[in-house]
Chains A and B, each alone.
Chain A
Amino acid sequence: MKEELIISGRMNYKVDPTLHIWSWEIPLYLFLGGLAAGILFFAALYYLRGKENMYKSAVKWVPMLTPLFLVIGLGALFLDLHHKPYFWRLYTTIKFQSPMSWGAWALMVVTPISIIWSGSYVREVFPKWDWKFQWIYTIEKYIIENRRNLAWIMIVFAVILGIYTGILLSAFNARPLWNTSIMGPLFLVSGLSAGAALIMLLSNDPLERKKFSQIDLLLIAIEMVLIIHMFMGFRASTDVQIEAAALFLGGPYTLPFWIFVVFLGMVLPAFLEFWELKGNHIPAYIPPLLILFGSLMLRFIIVYAGQASRYLY
C-alpha cells in the first residue's frame, strides 16, 4: 500500500501538533454576541411592527440583559488576547478586509445602542425608578421620541453582529471547516434562535411564549437546512473540505456534534415545542434551555473542530 509519512521538527506552543490558539473564550464570545444580536433583533422587530405592548418581555425588559452579555463577551475576548496592553490598537484603525476589525467596531456601536435602548425602558419596567438628574430625563425623553430611528439602527446592527460571529470564522481559508459561506447565516440563525429561546424562557405571558416557541421552531428548521447544506457543500468540494466534514461524519467530533448540537439542541426541543403547541404540558423551561445549550455547543464544537481541520502537504 502506498503510504505517506510526514515528520515535522516543529513543536510551537498552541500551533503544534494541531492548532489550538483559541480556547473557551472565543466560542463563549461568539455565543453571547449571537444571543445579544438575537434579542436585540426581536426587540427592534416587534417595536417596529407596533407590538411593543403585545410582546413586552421581548421589547422592553429582556434587552436589558444584552449589555451584560456583550460586556461579558467582550471580557472573554479581552482574556483571549495575548498582548493585552495593546488592545486599544483595535480602535485606531478600520480594516474592512479583516472581519475581526469591523466586528470590533460593530460591537462598539451595538453595545451603546443596547444600553440606550434598555435605559429608555427602565422607568416603564421599574415604575418607581428615579433618574436623580434632570438631564437624564431630558435625554430619556429625546430617546423615547426617536425610538423608531433607534430601532432601525438596532435591527441593522443586530444582523451585522449576528452574521459577523460566523464570518469571523468563514474568512479563514486555512481552516477548511470554517471556510464556507454558510457559516455566517448559520451563526446568525443560531443566534436568533438562542435570542428567541431566552425570551421564551424569561417571559411570563403565555401568548408571547407561544409566539416565540413558533419562531424557534421555524429557526430550528432553517438551521437544520443550513447544516445539511454545509455538509453537502463539503462533501462535494475538495479533499481538504471532505476531510473537514469527516470530523463530524465518523471523526472525533461526530458524537459531540450530533448529540449535543443536533439532537439535544435542535431535534429534542423542536419536538417538545411541537408537542406543547399540540396542547400537551411540558415544563416551560426545558425547550429554551436545550436550545441555548445547543447554540453554545455549536460555537464550541465549530471553533475547536475548525482548528483541527487543515491543509495537509
Chain B
Amino acid sequence: MRYAMAIDTKKCVGCSDCVVACQTENNVPIGYCRDWIVEVTDGTYPQLELEIRSERCNHCENSPCVRCCPTGASHYSDGGIVLVTEDMCIGCGACIASCPYDARYPHPDGHVDKCTFCIHRVQKGQNPACVEVCPTKCLYFGDLDDPNSDVSNILKKRKYKTLIPEAGTKPQLYFLI
C-alpha cells in the first residue's frame, strides 16, 4: 500500500477551500495551515504563465524528517503516511529544519504538526477532507499499489512532476501539468 495524491494544476483555481477544510477537519490552530496555495507566475509580459498548486506534506518515501527525529515521534504509518506522535515529540525543531518543503510547523501546544493525509478518514475508506471539498475536483487521492485507484488512473493518463526531486526525498505528491 502506498498512499499518494495528484494535484491538477490546470484545474486548480486557488480558492483555498482545501486549506479551510483541513483547518476545520483537523482543528488546526488559528493562524496556521497544514496545506496551502502557491501561485507561480513566469514568463515575459504579455506571455505569462500561471501555475496554481495546492501543496501539503509530500509524505516522502525517504523522509528527512523521519530520519532526523531524535525520539522516533516522526514515523511512517499505514501506506507510507508520515505522522507525528504528539506525546513522543520534544519540539526540538529538527524535523522542521529538515523538510525541504517547509511542510511542518510548531503547534502552539508544543509538538510539531503537519498534514496527516487525514489518516483518520482514510482508514474509514473516506478521502482526505481537502480532496472531498475541492470544488473543481482537482485533487486525486488513493493507493498507488492499486491500479484502479483515482490517483493511479489519473497518473496513467497525464504528465506530472514532483517538487524538488533533486532533494532525494521521493515525494508522493504528483502535480499534473
A interface residue numbers (CB < 8 A to B): 1-16, 19, 21-22, 80-87, 89-90, 92-93, 95, 97-101, 104, 171-175, 238, 307, 310-311, 313
Contacts and interface: CB of A to CB of B under 8 A. Distances in A.
Contact of B94 (A1, A98, A238, A310): A98
A3 B109 CA distance: 40
Contacts of A6: 38-40
Contact of B98 (A1, A86, A174): A174
Interface residues of B, number: 50
A98 B97 CA distance: 13
Closest 7 CB pairs of A and B: A82-B91, A83-B91, A83-B110, A10-B36, A101-B70, A174-B100, A12-B105
Given A8-B36, A22-B93, A93-B72, A172 B98 contact: yes
Contacts, number: 156
A85 B163 CA distance: 36
Contacts of B73: 89
Given A1-B44, A311-B164, A100 B68 contact: yes
Given A7-B41, A172-B94, 18 more contacts: A1-B44, A6-B40, A7-B39, A8-B38, A12-B33, A12-B102, A14-B96, A80-B93, A81-B90, A90-B90, A92-B71, A93-B70, A95-B70, A99-B68, A101-B71, A172-B97, A172-B98, A173-B100
B16 interface: yes
Contacts of A10: 33, 36, 38, 55, 102
Contacts of B44: 1-3
A83 B100 CA distance: 23
Given A5-B42, A7-B38, A82-B111, A100 B70 contact: yes
A95 B42 contact: no
Interface string B127-139: 0000000000000
A15 B97 CA distance: 9
Interface string B61-102: 000100111111100000000000001111111101111101
B102 A16 contact: yes
B154 interface: no
A22 B95 CA distance: 12
B177 interface: no
A300 to B, nearest CB: 16
A170 to B, nearest CB: 11
B113 to A, nearest CB: 9
24 contacts: A2-B43, A6-B39, A12-B33, A13-B32, A13-B105, A14-B105, A16-B102, A81-B90, A81-B92, A82-B93, A82-B111, A83-B90, A83-B91, A86-B89, A86-B111, A90-B90, A99-B68, A100-B68, A100-B92, A171-B67, A171-B68, A172-B64, A173-B168, A313-B164
Contact of B93 (A2, A13, A21, A98): A21
